[in-house]
Amino acid sequence: MISSLHGTAAHVADDSLVVVVGGVGFSVAVTAQFARTVHIGDDVHLHTNLIVREDALSLYGFESREELTVFTQLIGVTGVGPKSALGVLSSLTVPQIAQAVADDDDAPFRRVSGIGPKTAKLIVVQLAGKLSVVPTAAPAAVSAQGQVPVQVTQALVGLGWSERTAAEAVASVAESASDADRASVQSLLRLTLALLGPARKETVGG
């Protein structure tokens, strides 16, 4: 079982890395947020989960052990595969996931691509009482602010951009935006539209 990797990033994609350890390159699926922070040549330390299937071996890596723990719990939920679990962790932070489960609120999970209403409800039901990660102080405020990028991304998708383009643009703008702008759907949407330019329809996967 490969439980961790510590090596050099040799390749970086939207949601995966190639990490070279002792001359061997390991392809690792990671969250989109983490992938955006890594550059070729960076020293990378990941907590990993190796998924063994009849036709493939897939390695999933996480920056923190808490993310790995939640990933493991998510794939134990009926109907949630590794890719969907990674999608949840790409859309929500660990505290946001814990808070949603504690509040019996499946709405944040329904917003994740690939997670339907029934599966979202199962996540809340089956993870109830199992998440050992406790949200930090003022969890309601954190949860509310964390939904702003999700709402802006969905608004941009409605205007014609692909989900990937919208999410990347929102994340880019949020990095340099003020706390007030990051907390406001209207402000963050305005700033992201200024970056993207006129609305347009994109082909799927564009």
148-197 tens-digit pLDDT? 888 888 888 877 888 888 888 888 888 888 877 878 888 888 898 888 87
Query: Which of 99, 1, 114, 90 is CA-nearest to residue 50?
Result: 1
Alpha helix (H) residue ranges in 92-162: 94-102, 107-110, 117-127, 139-159
Q: Which residues contact 18 (CB under 8 A, 6 or more apart)?
A: 9, 10, 11, 25, 26, 27, 28
Give pLDDT, residue 199. Answer: 52
Mean pLDDT of 124-147: 61
Calculated CA dihedral for residues 199, 179, 35, 103, nearest 10 degrees? -100
What mean pLDDT, rounded, does the chain reach? 84
| Backbone φ, ψ for residue 156 (5° rounding) | -70, -35
Sign of CA dihedral 123, 129, 133, 137: positive
* Residue 160 and residue 199 in contact, taking contact as beta carbons nearer than 8 Å: yes
Residue 94, pLDDT above cutoff 50: yes
Whole-number Å distance between alpha carbons of 22 and 4: 14
Q: Classify residue 30 as exposed, middle or buried by CB count within 10 Å of its CB (0-12, 13-18, 19+).
A: buried
Give the residue-averaged pLDDT of 26-48. 93
Q: What is the pLDDT of residue 142?
A: 40
pLDDT at 141: 41
Lowest mean pLDDT among 101-115, 137-151, 156-170: 137-151
pLDDT at 166: 83
Distance, in Å, from the CA atom of 27 to the CA atom of 5, rounded to the nearest integer, reads 11
**Residue 121 neighbours by CB under 8 Å, 6+ apart:** 106
C-alpha 5/C-alpha 182 separation (Å) is 33
pLDDT at 132: 58
Lowest mean pLDDT among 11-20, 71-80, 128-137, 157-166: 128-137
pLDDT at 124 over 70: yes
Specify the range with the lowest mean pLDDT, choosing from 3-7, 17-21, 88-92, 182-186: 182-186
What is the structure's pLDDT at 205? 42
Q: Are strands 16-21 and 4-12 parallel, antiparallel or unpaired?
A: antiparallel
Q: What's the average model confidence in pLDDT over 46-74?
A: 91
Q: Are 153 and 170 in contact (CB under 8 A)?
A: yes
Report pLDDT digits (tens) over 61-70.
Answer: 999 999 999 9
What residues contact residue 113 under an 8 Å CB cut-off, 6+ apart?
87, 91, 163
For residues 86-118, b (16+ Cβ closer than 10 Å) or e, as one string? bbbbbbbbbbbbbbbbbeeebebbebbeebeee
Query: 134 pLDDT exceeds 80?
Result: no
Mean pLDDT of 54-61: 88
